[in-house]
Structure 1
């Protein structure tokens, strides 16, 4: 056995998305970092070994896609990958290489693959001093010392070996009064899954299952129990097994049982299913996973224990370092051995059922304290092993969310080292520093904005060559951005529930509005319209605020007619620029309110899913409306709001699409500033979840070619120039700091949008 010794500032154990983001974040902050991964590839459940595609808040909320390191990775994967990402089973090795490339290209980061933590050693103060690592296939053992350790193993392996307290299974209802908790506590956990992928061969292909495969004979097992065959070419999350086996100790037994079931399910599809066997005739199995993807095991207790009430009530935490927005998704324990699949699936993914209403949540903030071990001062946690209840785990466990937790943990570790503190004892000023670093690195925090004193752009005046205005959109509009709004319009859109359209207010006057409505009853219908002030595009409260205006509108018989409302609203009525109002139409199933053929950036829609609670309507695209006067809601000052995405306002500058490129945005200071670094955030890949973007995708809104100029010596000097860009976050350290009182960014070409768009500009002296 070869023996080695290594030492680092931060040791990250586990190379899933949480671990990768933790390691990269800490290394970018200057810490010496090691990442230890027990598989030959990075990515954990998202890797090509398991192929669970990353999900997150954007599955349920418009403009909620996670940003930061995970966004950089997913944008890169879509730009490089020739294959679509539809659902589980579709991940290929391009994704593995994107992760690997970032890891090996990041300065200060050392990577150990196929390496397993076997021992944890503590010092006299009960802090972790080192871990022992065994490298598979290399007969090598490494003693790795560290100052801060981050457990991203999923199973909480490091925390367990260090003697930390952890929970397993489900809390009982009486402990925290959680609506999703069972009446009695139990050791039941959600199960593990493996996936498959099939290929259309263009000719009939037979399949014969081995004798040891499970044989299915009853269609009710699938069709009456919520196990849906939504795509013949890829595997299903519901090929899941947990109890009666332990998801850690019985992992190999679970893998074998899942393989038996997967082959049996494919046998059912190919040979016995009366609905599918003809459709599946030309399909052949291409791949079956042999590494179970886990959902739940140990949950390590931290300095705060997050329960279901926090995401459901959107608790505001002073130490907010991430956000989530997946629903409270608790799978039926037992998986394939349970009477039905996960409850939402068993209901056919109904959006207005009692279960759907109580499970829908977010976006909500997540506190740093659930990442801090309560027992070990230099141990942080990130991933599904964080300090949450079983019910809360149902929402925070999805990988896009755990990636944010990883970036937060890595950043917190670096700040702790810089401040000379233990990672578990950061004070308020330290946490504020963590938050500001996360924002600067591209993350989004719902209750924080850029207040970085080092960002001199915050004191500048801003002007632009032009700015777009919102006139509205109709069904006849087409997606001129090359992919941003490409959704087929529904055939029928009856107002079965109250529906709302968010409109950004840039002019403190709304003289009139109009909606494209249909009424095919042959008699006049009425519908109540109202304008309601809202706090953000995720303010789903319905009926809680007094409308600014309300009107009964007459809808005569006819299709796709514009029904006008002379609202006559001004600032005297409470209308305020720099925020949103929600145009609502009350339910009348005899009336249709049609969607627009194009998405207006930052303008989303929702409907009332239950009493006083809305959720995204369809994909959250824009409903048809016209507004007079047109709203000036894409002004250049939006790049300095401190928020780099549509949220409390549009928060982006867009040039007038009728004007030709190039278009320019300019900062000007009262006195000269010394600029050493310019950082830019561009719109793109926020509106929809990752799965919705095609192969080789470059977001049309994102500038492709741009330059940065500084005013020096009585003229403009180019200090940076970029071509072929598709990333939404770019940092430009200048080769030499420049003294200037004016700086401009010129967008020469986009990836398809006729408007130049910028979400944020930051300038630093170094």
Structure 2
């Protein structure tokens, strides 16, 4: 067949999480996109071909309010609804449908990029071959985004890159080796098992290793109930070239898997007679290869110290997670982990290639040291970077800029990302076309926090237990609902959080003790120092096994419950052989065991007033940053924007509450207790007020999404409102943001 010439605004190379999010973001910003993927399915390491869980800033639930929004968030929510059991094939469909829903994306699967054409410092085109159909393509574009993971396009374009581990002194990193070397994180192949109705024999292939002759049995945990990414530690190849030696690495990983399975089936140490192998991967899931140099290099301190960045385009929160170069044959632990104290900013400077003018990158090939890369590499974080890169390409096209020129002032990029509800935290949106800041905000009701809920269950104070809650200017006391087995006292302390984006108890600002009598619910009141606007405080009740804390029947967003685990690390059901290398309050104060558990407290405050939905923040930041109504009855709850003079509103943007504290992953080693987040609004109407009469301009039923944009094109109106008639299960209506955009400038 002849050569086909194609033109696009942007070419996205690689169809993993970074590439998917980059392509969707660019298309939604009006660019014509070509997305090239060299495999038959999308998803990269998360696809049904490899089956690694999509993890991100939540760090499997340790980080508070850390689940990604934006495109990654949409994919999570859709997957929870259509794929509650975490079927890898259904996840493939979620990704494919998301890409196919964007008419500006031309998707080429099974398409291998084999050449990159460069003029000076500019990429002109890529050459690619479509396997199966034997088509040859030359694709030209103004901008290119390398999401290949291995950094193939960037390397062929002549970009500088790092490979291996930098010396400790290069970036002043305590976790780096004394001397630089070429070792990387290794690759992994996973397997699935299933139960049959009769015994199933297993005859090991000749190439299977004898695990009894290795350190695996002493340093790793084998269990018959584990599947897939629970065996993430089946890793090898870090001392080789993970690309050049890919086939050798695959063969060794197969030998390890079949050796492990032979031991489980035939050693006599497991009840595995009726278990059989359902699937064994054939593609090594790579963790690390080239890291392309940008205008900034993220290092250990950027993650560990949690520095704020003026050019932030997203956030991460996964631990610095470094694996031994010997992989599965390392007799010590399978990983070292340092958890950041909260989510950290990702700067734009790591997403544009130094020396290649029109090249951006996203995913596991960005500009970071080996140590910092240990946190950035997880797939939800790669998706966040992808959305930023795709949006950056659109800003550059619209403004006639190169990525390096955009780096000089990223505010236009940040504004677009915030407007799209992307995963940015701590940044305020100031959009000149948004009319909401000029409106009076009102609502049908507001949740009253001065009356505490009646307990429906109890949590015994076997260890220090805390509830984090918002303090506004009027929050001068907090009451806890307790009960005691015998008359006693309980010690309490009130603590601040480290900063607005860290949600663990830190500095003690007051402390004391209170008597708890026997008989019924005891309301213990703790005085609070005067509030300075809004911030998060934590009420800590110290261990007293004779005392229990009441649990409310309704989950209250904006409160976090947690227990102190001490310094024992974070060993859990999926990685019992691991402990945090440097435990901090994120891992010591456990929130997983009390997930969506609301400890019964009451306090005066104004953290849920309608004005919160017109603020410039879209995520919890010095408080929940959302309007919450009183418990709903027969009439709809409503939230309203009203102006003194008539305005023209083209677009109404609504951001609902999907509880960004709720941990998610695509393959569900832990399932949600619901398919749709209960706090999400389900049924609502949008109305406008014109000449004193309310007119309905939009109705939505069965909503399952966090971000909804309605083109209402309403002229000469004095108010608009959303009337909420049903949630997806929550007692109250929740709205994170309402924005009314005038005519675009």
Q: Give the TM-score, by structure 1 length.
A: 0.88
Residue number in structure 1 paired with 2:511: 550
1:132 aligns with 2:161: no
Residue number in structure 1 paired with 2:491: 527
Residue number in structure 1 paired with 2:385: 405
1:647 aligns with 2:621: yes
Query: Is contact 2:184–2:239 with CA below 8 Å preserved after alignment?
Result: no
Residue number in structure 1 paired with 2:636: 662
The structural deviation recorded for 1:702 is: 0.9
1:23 aligns with 2:23: yes
- Pick aligned residue for 1:266 from 261, 269, 277: 261
Query: Is contact 2:490–2:515 with CA below 8 Å preserved after alignment?
Result: yes
Query: Is contact 1:464–1:664 with CA below 8 Å preserved after alignment?
Result: yes
Query: Is contact 1:655–1:756 with CA below 8 Å preserved after alignment?
Result: yes
Aligned CA distance change for structure 1 residues 420 and 241 (closer, same or farther; 3 Å): same
Q: Equivalents in 2 of 1:614, 1:45: separation in Å?
A: 27
- Pick aligned residue for 2:367 from 368, 382, 387: 387
Residue number in structure 2 paired with 1:514: 480
Q: RMSD across aligned C-alpha pairs, in angstroms?
A: 2.7
Residue number in structure 2 paired with 1:84: 85
Residue number in structure 2 paired with 1:745: 722
The structural deviation recorded for 1:273 is: 5.4
The structural deviation recorded for 1:534 is: 6.0
Residue number in structure 2 paired with 1:451: 430
Structure 1: gaps of 5 or more residues:
86-90, 345-355, 479-488
Query: Is contact 1:328–1:361 with CA below 8 Å preserved after alignment?
Result: no
- Pick aligned residue for 1:333 from 316, 325, 340: 325
1:229 aligns with 2:223: yes
1:730-749 deviations in whole A, cap 9, x for unaligned?
11112x43321111101111
Query: Is contact 1:606–1:614 with CA below 8 Å preserved after alignment?
Result: no
1:711 aligns with 2:683: no
Q: Equivalents in 1 of 2:413, 2:268: separation in Å?
A: 54
Residue number in structure 1 paired with 2:4: 4
1:525-578 deviations in whole A, cap 9, x for unaligned?
5524225366436244623xx61x32233467x7996462341x4xxx432453
The structural deviation recorded for 1:367 is: 0.2
SS at match of 1:365: strand
- Pick aligned residue for 1:68 from 67, 70, 78: 70
Residue number in structure 1 paired with 2:346: 366
Moved more, 361-370 or 174-183: 174-183
Q: How many residues align?
A: 718
Q: Equivalents in 1 of 2:327, 2:739: separation in Å?
A: 49
Query: Is contact 1:540–1:614 with CA below 8 Å preserved after alignment?
Result: yes
1:56-88 deviations in whole A, cap 9, x for unaligned?
12222122100101111221122112x523xxx
- Pick aligned residue for 2:590 from 611, 617, 623: 617
The structural deviation recorded for 1:324 is: 0.3
The structural deviation recorded for 1:121 is: 1.2
Q: Equivalents in 2 of 1:108, 1:595: separation in Å?
A: 49
Q: Equivalents in 2 of 1:512, 1:540: separation in Å?
A: 18
Q: Equivalents in 2 of 1:559, 1:335: separation in Å?
A: 57
The structural deviation recorded for 1:131 is: 1.1
Q: What are the within-5 Å matches in structure 2 for residues 199-278 of structure 1?
A: 199-217=194-212, 221-222=216-217, 224-227=218-221, 229=223, 231-235=225-229, 236-272=231-267, 274=269, 277-278=270-271
Aligned CA distance change for structure 1 residues 193 and 552 (closer, same or farther; 3 Å): same
1:564 aligns with 2:490: no
Q: Equivalents in 2 of 1:530, 1:228: separation in Å?
A: 43
Q: Give the TM-score, by structure 2 length.
A: 0.90
SS at match of 1:217: helix
SS at match of 2:320: coil
1:156-208 deviations in whole A, cap 9, x for unaligned?
00111111111111112222221221222221111111111112224433222
Moved more, 749-758 or 390-399: 749-758
Q: What are the within-5 Å matches in structure 2 for residues 623-702 of structure 1?
A: 625-657=599-631, 659-691=633-665, 692-694=670-672, 697-702=675-680
SS at match of 1:579: strand
1:293 aligns with 2:285: yes
Residue number in structure 1 paired with 2:397: 417
SS at match of 1:406: helix
Q: Equivalents in 2 of 1:602, 1:745: separation in Å?
A: 22
Q: Equivalents in 1 of 2:560, 2:487: separation in Å?
A: 31
Residue number in structure 2 paired with 1:343: 335
Query: Is contact 1:474–1:625 with CA below 8 Å preserved after alignment?
Result: no
Q: Equivalents in 1 of 2:424, 2:319: separation in Å?
A: 18
Aligned CA distance change for structure 1 residues 472 and 168 (closer, same or farther; 3 Å): farther
The structural deviation recorded for 1:112 is: 1.2
Query: Is contact 1:300–1:373 with CA below 8 Å preserved after alignment?
Result: yes
Aligned CA distance change for structure 1 residues 476 and 574 (closer, same or farther; 3 Å): closer
SS at match of 1:477: strand
SS at match of 1:26: helix
Aligned CA distance change for structure 1 residues 76 and 260 (closer, same or farther; 3 Å): same
Q: Equivalents in 2 of 1:565, 1:219: separation in Å?
A: 59
Query: Is contact 1:678–1:732 with CA below 8 Å preserved after alignment?
Result: yes
1:502 aligns with 2:468: yes
Query: Is contact 2:481–2:523 with CA below 8 Å preserved after alignment?
Result: yes
The structural deviation recorded for 1:361 is: 4.0
Structure 2: gaps of 5 or more residues:
568-582
Query: Is contact 1:326–1:361 with CA below 8 Å preserved after alignment?
Result: no
Q: Equivalents in 1 of 2:222, 2:520: separation in Å?
A: 36
The structural deviation recorded for 1:219 is: 9.4
Q: Equivalents in 2 of 1:265, 1:755: separation in Å?
A: 51
Q: Equivalents in 2 of 1:374, 1:581: separation in Å?
A: 43
SS at match of 1:329: strand
Q: Equivalents in 1 of 2:307, 2:227: separation in Å?
A: 41
Residue number in structure 2 paired with 1:50: 50
SS at match of 2:456: coil
- Pick aligned residue for 1:376 from 346, 351, 356: 356
Query: Is contact 1:84–1:695 with CA below 8 Å preserved after alignment?
Result: no
Residue number in structure 1 paired with 2:110: 114
Query: Is contact 2:473–2:530 with CA below 8 Å preserved after alignment?
Result: no
